[in-house]
Chain A
């Protein structure tokens, strides 16, 4: 009598957990799809566009890593609910960009991202920026904070580390630092300047 009950229980647990895991991936995928439409509209208007009524965030940039065939929409803010739908971005007082995403969904590709890799960031106002991966470091989140007042030609990507950890919520983070190489202006393509290491 107990056996079928146990089987049912474990089946339920299995479904619940697998559904949860699938849900996370589904949400991550769905978020990007739903956001696509809002992003197209946002590029045409000056106002931020809500992807769906009552949504907690909106897309503000498009991140592309051609070498790894990565094309993601970046949302405003880095709170946990936002990160479920896509990578989140925060901008410091001097223009420093911080992008955070989950290690098991959007930023899974950071595992293969190598130093020197070229990254493109398309902004809602139509600007296209090219960045280069400067370095990768593993840090302990309990001992290190993020300096949001860093310069605007620097961008930091954060995700959890290690990528194959079983338990969630570990203290270690992978920090990827990127430097802006060329500021590309669509309106005025000839005004491209090299800004490496120079305050804009």
Chain B
């Protein structure tokens, strides 16, 4: 079925139409592609184990996936998988039999060379590359027939915090992205060199790398299990999973959460939410890790719930994605979200509505007053929305950003989409260039949302992003967003450090009610007082944060490294050249041992595969035949008896010695003629 869908997609692209595609894109699970040289086969991860350890604001996760080469040939495997946004990937391990191969960070091109050399030499090798900020691929070379191997990937991520609630998200599935543009002519190289379903196009030159073959919901028989060890450090009032049934247990300060068996639906993203018992206002928390001679800190500031009571006049442009990928429940959620946003408008506000799929349509040529008649027309427009067609995102954004602005109004663009497009970089560039004084807010709809892209859009649009995975969440998440949209803003925020400190983000975003300000900092010695100043409705606002009290936490340095890499990536082409940004990213990635677009993790087995028997000979780990339950009773297993008397080896050694004796006796006789002196 899936193959057919993509065939259709490709055909339409070939015909040069961004034609309407009636497809139900369900988020789906990644699978491993096996290339045996003769044929291409696919195999699902047999077991996926996710272990998350949360300490304070940071989480360390290890994902273990076992794959089986069920073909009769040596194979190379490749699979694409999603990770949470903003992750700092720092370790790769491949386990084959009793051996563990550890990966190391290398420059991307060099890592690929290392991998390919090892593959040619017949060694087990693995390579993890970053395809997008939240999309990664793993290649494994020289998997023996019938062999099971385990790939372990370790990474760090930050826990989200807003409105007194902590949130940890883990994507279990990926949705296929929409790939716009014309297929690249075959002369420019293979159009599917990445092995994916879509062909490379002029707008998305690596499309074939990011569109893996996917397994539909009915095929997902492979088990996923997810464990979270939550060390919140404070008593919790609530601990819930948004989309899965969980088993939770409290043990000596740690909450252990388990999702497995039939509860672990891999087609829904995992989200864990918790609230501390004490909901009193906490002004700041600092987490510290010292690495080398540098202090690395993660600082969270929460401004007071209310700054002033005044209300700002707003001009809101709502953009709704009605492309084919939004079909089904997604469009329902989007409709609900839009109606919610419309309801929040007061009579002093102005608004407009833009719908887009293959092309964009605005309800009004320019924003209009939120009168009862206009709102009624807008509601009618929303209820008539149908999801169909491509996802051409640039048009509606340009339309919204180029509207004639009404002076004295706060410009807000609310963008409702699942973010499934391939040309994300192009869209982000446009927004950075044209956003001006407008603020862009994104609302991610459904499971398998490209949330990294939406977060980036909101970041450059100086707004914020929310995710709505299920219909029931529309109310909660949208009220948070609307509260933000209508609440007074703390802007022009500046940080005054006591000494020379490097901090991120360099440009502090606006702060809305209930939103914390997160700052990563690095300095030789972080002590003293931090002064935070800002403006709220023209009024000066300030807060003093003492840096003396902190909690030590692992992963802060990795978080800093990840943020610093992001800063350099953002600067590329905007201030510094691409080459310079690339070099800085490589330096940072190697300093903090992180995966990045320019560095990869590569693991090479030091033992060539062909002498694997020799390598195994050195180990002596007895294990036993599995009890298949046939005999009911306990398994009576015994080791093999030694069944070699050693007569052969003795005979051979004896004959060799005898041959030497014969040679020694014969030597003087044979060599007497040629040499006059006999040897001693």
Chain A residues proximal to chain B, CB less than 8 Å: 1-3, 6-7, 10-11, 13-21, 24-25, 28, 78-80, 83-84, 88, 92-94, 100-105, 107, 140-151, 158-160, 164-171, 173
Contacts and interface: CB of A to CB of B under 8 A. Distances in A.
Given A142-B621, A147-B635, A102 B645 contact: yes
Contact of B624 (A79, A144, A158, A168): A144
Contacts of A167: 649
Contact of B617 (A102, A159, A171): A171
A19 B655 CA distance: 11
Give the top 5 A-B pairs by smallest Cβ distance, nearest first.
Answer: A17-B654, A18-B654, A14-B657, A145-B624, A168-B646
Interface string B638-677: 1111111111111111111110110011001000000000
A125 B265 CA distance: 62
A19 B658 CA distance: 12
Contacts of B637: 145-148
A160 B644 CA distance: 6
Given A10-B660, A14-B657, A166-B648, A102 B620 contact: no
B622 interface: yes
A10 B644 contact: no
B680 interface: yes
B281 interface: no
B619 interface: yes
B38 interface: no
Contacts of A151: 631
Contacts of A105: 645, 647
A7 B665 contact: yes
Contacts, number: 159
Given A148-B638, A168-B644, A24 B625 contact: no
Nearest to A87: B643
Interface string B146-178: 000000000000000000000000000000000
A17 B657 CA distance: 9
Contacts of B292: none
A92 B668 CA distance: 63
A158 B638 CA distance: 13
A92 B477 CA distance: 66
23 contacts: A7-B661, A10-B658, A20-B650, A80-B642, A83-B645, A88-B641, A100-B640, A142-B619, A142-B622, A143-B623, A144-B624, A145-B624, A145-B637, A145-B639, A147-B631, A149-B631, A149-B636, A158-B643, A160-B642, A160-B643, A169-B644, A170-B644, A173-B643
B355 to A, nearest CB: 62
A134 to B, nearest CB: 16
Interface of B: 616-617, 619-625, 627, 631, 633-658, 660-661, 664-665, 668, 679-680
Contact of A104 (B616, B644, B665): B644
Given A101-B643, A147-B625, 16 more contacts: A7-B661, A10-B657, A18-B651, A79-B641, A102-B647, A104-B644, A104-B645, A107-B643, A144-B624, A144-B625, A145-B624, A145-B639, A149-B631, A151-B631, A159-B643, A167-B649
Nearest to B623: A143
Interface centre among B623, B637, B647 (most CB of A within 10 A): B647
Contacts of B658: 10-11, 14, 18
A146 to B, nearest CB: 5
B679 to A, nearest CB: 8
Contacts of B679: 3
A6 to B, nearest CB: 6
B664 to A, nearest CB: 5
B643 A17 contact: no
Contacts of B655: 14, 18
A16 B679 CA distance: 28
B654 A13 contact: yes
B636 A92 contact: yes
Interface centre among A7, A92, A147 (most CB of B within 10 A): A147
A20 B654 contact: yes
Contacts of B645: 24, 28, 83-84, 102, 104-105, 168
A168 B679 CA distance: 37
Contact of A148 (B636, B649, B680): B636
Nearest to B637: A145
Contact of B680 (A3, A79, A102, A103): A3
Nearest to A8: B661
Interface centre among B623, B651, B679 (most CB of A within 10 A): B651
A100 B619 contact: no
Contacts of A21: 647-648, 650-651, 654
A127 B88 CA distance: 72
A13 B631 contact: no
A150 to B, nearest CB: 7
A35 to B, nearest CB: 17
Contacts of B642: 80, 83, 160, 169
B640 A16 contact: no
Given A103-B644, A168-B644, A141 B639 contact: yes
A173 B640 contact: yes
Given A7-B661, A14-B661, A141-B639, A94 B650 contact: no
B381 to A, nearest CB: 67
A145 B643 contact: no
B636 A24 contact: no
B640 A145 contact: yes
A25 B648 CA distance: 10
Contact of A145 (B620, B623, B634, B650): B623
Nearest to B659: A14
Contacts of A10: 657-658, 660-661, 664
A13 B680 CA distance: 22
Contacts of B619: 142
A3 B616 contact: no
Contacts of A18: 650-651, 654-655, 658
A4 B621 CA distance: 48
A191 to B, nearest CB: 27
Nearest to A82: B641
